[in-house]
Amino acid sequence: MEADISANLERFTGLAGVYDAHRPRPPAVIPDMLTQLARTRRPRLVVDLGSGTGLSTFLWADRAAAVVGVEPNADMRAVAEARKAAYANATNVRFQEGIAAQTGLPDGSADIVTCSQSLHWMEPESTLAEVARVLRSGGVFAAYDYHTLPTMDWEAEEALVTFRARVDAVEEARGLPRKRRWPKEEHLHRMRASGHFRYVRETWVHSIEMGNAERLVGLARSHGGIGMLLRQGVGEAELGLGDLRVTAERTLGDEPRPWLLSYMVRIGVK
C-alpha cells in the first residue's frame, strides 16, 4: 500500500525563498564523482528528484545535455523557475511537477538520477523502483544528504540543536499533520535490499561555505515545520527563534566565517 506523504509535500510551502537563500549548495565534486561512475563525460540526461528550488539541479547545468528537476511543491518550483531565468547557461534545465515515484520520464532515459537532501521524504520502495526504471543499464543513482549541523562554533551549534528540538516539540503539541520520514541511516540498506542495483556503496564528501549570524537564523527558519507553525499563528518567541538569534549574533556576528559541511553520499549502479 502506498504511504501517505501528503503532509510532507506541504511542509515547505511559504519557505521557498528563505530555503533558497540559506540552504547549502551541493559541492561540485558530486558531478565529478557521479559522471566518472556512470562512465560518461557528459550525461545525456540527469534527473533530480525532490529538486526543491533547484539548488541541486543547477549543479548540472554545465555538465549534462539535459537536466530535469522533479518537485511536487509549487512554491519551490516557482523559485526554481525564477532562478533559471537568471542563468544564461541553463537552457538545458527544466522543472516539472511530480513525485519521485511517478516521474513520467521514458524507460532507460537517464544516465544519472539524484536525490539531494530529499530521499527521506519519499516512500522508498516505489521511489527506488522508479529510479531503476528511468536509469539506463550502468546508470548511477545517488542519494546525498549534508549533516544538518555545520561545523562553525560549538555554542551556535548547540543553540541550533536546541531550536530544532523546540520546533519538533511545538509541532507535536499543536497536533500538526504528522510528517512521514524514512531514516537516512537506512538508505544504503534499502538500496541494497531493493535488488535494483548491481553495486551499492556510500562515501563522504565535504565542502566549505561562508556563514554568519544571519545565515544561521535563516538556516533555522528553513526548517520544514516552521512554515506550518507560523501559518497557524505560532510566534517566533514560542519557537525559540529569538533565543537562537541572540546566541548567533553573540558567537558568529556579521562577519562571514567558514562553515564545514559534510555530505553522506549513497550510490547505486544499475
DSSP 78-144: HHHHHHHHT-TT-TTEEEE--BTTB--PPTT-EEEEEEES-GGGS-HHHHHHHHHHHEEEEEEEEEE
pLDDT the model gives residue 177? 67
Tell me the mean pLDDT in the region 244-266: 98
Tens digit of each residue's pLDDT (9 = 90 or more) over 186-234: 999 999 999 999 999 999 999 999 999 999 999 999 988 887 888 888 8
Q: All 3 cell numbers of residue 116?
A: 539531494
Q: Out of 138-152, 165-179, 184-198, 254-268, which region has the weakest mean confidence (pLDDT)?
A: 165-179
pLDDT at 4 over 60: no
**Long-range contacts made by residues 227-232, C-beta under 8 angstroms, separation at least 24?**
227/11, 227/12, 227/13, 227/14, 227/15, 228/10, 228/11, 228/13, 228/171, 228/176, 228/177, 229/167, 229/170, 229/171, 229/174, 229/176, 230/14, 231/14, 232/174, 232/176
**Long-range contacts made by residues 132-135, C-beta under 8 angstroms, separation at least 24?**
132/194, 132/196, 132/197, 132/270, 133/107, 133/108, 134/47, 134/103, 134/105, 134/106, 134/107, 134/108, 134/109, 134/110, 135/108, 135/110, 135/111, 135/270
Longest dimension (CA), the chain: 54
Confirm if 151 and 263 have CB atoms less than 8 A apart: no
Bridge partner list, 93: 67
Q: Give 232 or 266, the one with higher predicted confidence.
A: 266
Give 7's pLDDT tier (boundaries 50, 70, 90): low
- Name 13's Cβ contacts closer than 8 Å, sequence gap at least 6: 73, 74, 75, 227, 228
Average pLDDT, the chain: 93
> 253 lies in a domain?
no
> 166 lies in a domain?
no
> Domain limits at 136?
6-146+179-208+258-269
Tell me the mean pLDDT in the region 91-101: 96
Q: Give 87 or 101, the one with higher predicted confidence.
A: 101
Handedness of CA 201, 184, 14, 215 (dihedral sign): negative
Query: Which residue, chain included where needed, has cell 559541492?
Result: 27
> 26 lies in a domain?
yes
Buried b / exposed e along 83-98 (16+ C-beta atoms within 10 A) = bbeeeeebebbebeeb
> 137 lies in a domain?
yes
| Residue 52 backbone phi and psi in degrees, to 5 | 55, -130
Q: All 3 cell numbers of residue 212?
A: 554568519
Tell me the mean pLDDT in the region 126-135: 98
Q: Out of 96-100, 127-131, 153-157, 220-224, which region has the weakest mean confidence (pLDDT)?
A: 220-224
pLDDT the model gives residue 6? 64
pLDDT at 184 over 50: yes
> 112 lies in a domain?
yes
Tens digit of each residue's pLDDT (9 = 90 or more) over 40-80: 999 999 999 999 999 999 999 999 999 999 999 999 999 99
Percentage of the chain modeled with pLDDT above 70: 96
pLDDT the model gives residue 178? 64
Residue 101's domain is classified under what CATH number?
Answer: 3.40.50.150
> 1 lies in a domain?
no
Q: Looking at the 3D structure of the chain, how many domains does it have?
A: 1
d(CA 46, CA 93): 9
Bridge partner list, 45: none
pLDDT at 183 over 90: yes
> 223 lies in a domain?
no
pLDDT the model gives residue 1? 36
> 244 lies in a domain?
no
pTM of the predicted model as reported, rounded to 2 decimal places: 0.94
